Structure 1
């Protein structure tokens, strides 16, 4: 979407930075809630339930004609699994490592856009895949010998969350003609249902603790996180609707900075040369994907796909 006027652009950028700030620091309240006995799956389900109720109160017409659109159901599932993967991973894993693995998303997008949108990958897209995979291999490589393979649940969750995030973005492009309230309903509903369903499955297997009795110590924190996520989503809607897509993607990379600095400062992550080297390649891939391509004579003014 084209950028707005001169006055709108700074406010839109600040809105996107605020959204990235909320996501970049979300690991801390999720860990605080877990310390109070609230598993991140329950936290995620409750947070999105609050947002879902606010949306339905403000836009009750969002449910009209929603159920008969299979792509919206897939959007709900992908958005839900994005939150399950990311929120759970940053709670139990090294935050910097998780965020970097999550941002493998541009590599996933190449194949998904080909499969769902019919956009055949070009040479630059394939080069980005190779660059991203090289970065991931460096991040995942064990200190001694061995293959660069996910070694912990947090690694798998981060990779799955990044894949789901890529699928969400591709589906949003496919559903660009669908009214925004219906798309937002799918994303909020997916976050609520997916996290709740996985939590219930884990509860049945004994791997997820039951939701503790209501106490002010975690209810206030959970409500505050819900408000922050809702405000962040509104900021994203405001900023993304006023800036070009590549600008939005570049600004949103500030989430990596917020997450890394806060996690290192609070002892939830470590930055060694291996992580820095792999992370540099992954971030470079994301920035390259977001960078606008030179318009052709036939398509000057049309937005190119990443």
Structure 2
């Protein structure tokens, strides 16, 4: 059951790009959709333990968790709705590279030989994915590429900070993450809409609220499934099972026209996944909460 719960969570996230695109086509930018999805989870966590708000407000380090989680959702959800899903997901999974560097500076962890190998694999994979067709230096070719890279960095920061704050209550840490999805994504959406960069929330008719509510409920149970599975399995097993998200996103994007696969993307993706797999196999680590 714990493995099935994690697979369900990975399936939801691997397929999430498609409904984000449907809502965007209907007039609801991915940032507004993110706010709507996490509002339900935030309300449920707030009502389940009202002391969590007191702990959260008195712990500045949890504010950084909120910022990192919010930026993760803002970047990833916007990226998969905007560009090539396969490239965005692969660049997002450069997390092992960022996690090594952040753990070194935030947690004081020493760089091991295996960690350096993971960094080399991740960098090599990123080089293949970002290499221009006509040659030249690897660089994000689009806003979606940049959002995938930035989202992966923020997710690594989120996980490192959750390890640092492992002594805090589970409700306070969950509150920090869900509030990030509401307040950070919402703040970014308001600023961008006010500047004319995105549209204010608009849907063709009230009937669109039902699939939006259904998606919010699905995301809520997806997060519950992650907590159930991650709490009952070793952290490295959890990390390996969660890698299912990558092939799910890749296959669905190729099938539904959300991405393309060429040789350099395939080679780069293999290197990035190898780095993620090495990260999961290196040693057991405390479980983290996915955004």
Offset at residue 256 of structure 1 (A): 0.2
Q: What CA deviation, in whole Å up to 9, does each residue of 1:65-84 have, x standing for no partner?
A: 32111110000000000000
Corresponding residue for residue 137 of structure 1: 127
Offset at residue 92 of structure 1 (A): 0.5
Check if 1:220 corresponds to 2:204.
no
1:155 to 145, 157, 172: 145
Aligned pairs, how many?
Answer: 287
Check if 1:273 corresponds to 2:248.
no
Query: Unpaired runs of 5+ in structure 1?
Result: 1-10, 294-302
Alignment root-mean-square deviation, CA: 1.4
Corresponding residue for residue 88 of structure 2: 98
User: Of the two, which has the highest radius of gyration?
Assistant: 1
2:156 to 134, 159, 166: 166
What SS does the corresponding residue of 1:144 show, helix, strand or coil?
coil
Q: 2-side partners of 1:63 and 1:200: how far apart?
A: 24
Q: 2-side partners of 1:201 and 1:83: how far apart?
A: 17
In the alignment, is the contact (CA less than 8 A) between 2:26 and 2:204 conserved in 1? no
What SS does the corresponding residue of 1:228 show, helix, strand or coil?
helix
In the alignment, is the contact (CA less than 8 A) between 2:76 and 2:148 conserved in 1? yes
Q: What CA deviation, in whole Å up to 9, does each residue of 1:88-122 have, x standing for no partner?
A: 00000100110000000010000100111110211
Task: Name the CA shift for 1:151/1:191 in 2 (closer, same or farther; >3 Å).
Answer: same
In the alignment, is the contact (CA less than 8 A) between 2:236 and 2:285 conserved in 1? no
Offset at residue 166 of structure 1 (A): 0.2
Query: Unpaired runs of 5+ in structure 2?
Result: 287-291
Q: What CA deviation, in whole Å up to 9, does each residue of 1:192-223 have, x standing for no partner?
A: 01110110111121111011158334211211
What TM-score, normalized to structure 2? 0.96
Corresponding residue for residue 182 of structure 2: 192
Q: What CA deviation, in whole Å up to 9, does each residue of 1:108-142 have, x standing for no partner?
A: 00010011111021121011111101000100101
Check if 1:68 corresponds to 2:44.
no
Q: 2-side partners of 1:195 and 1:18: how far apart?
A: 25
What TM-score, normalized to structure 1? 0.91
Alignment of 1:26-45 (within 5 A): 26-45=16-35
Post-superposition, which runs of at least 4 consecutive aligned residues in structure 1 deviate over 3 A?
none
Task: Name the CA shift for 1:42/1:304 in 2 (closer, same or farther; >3 Å).
Answer: closer
Higher helix proportion: 2
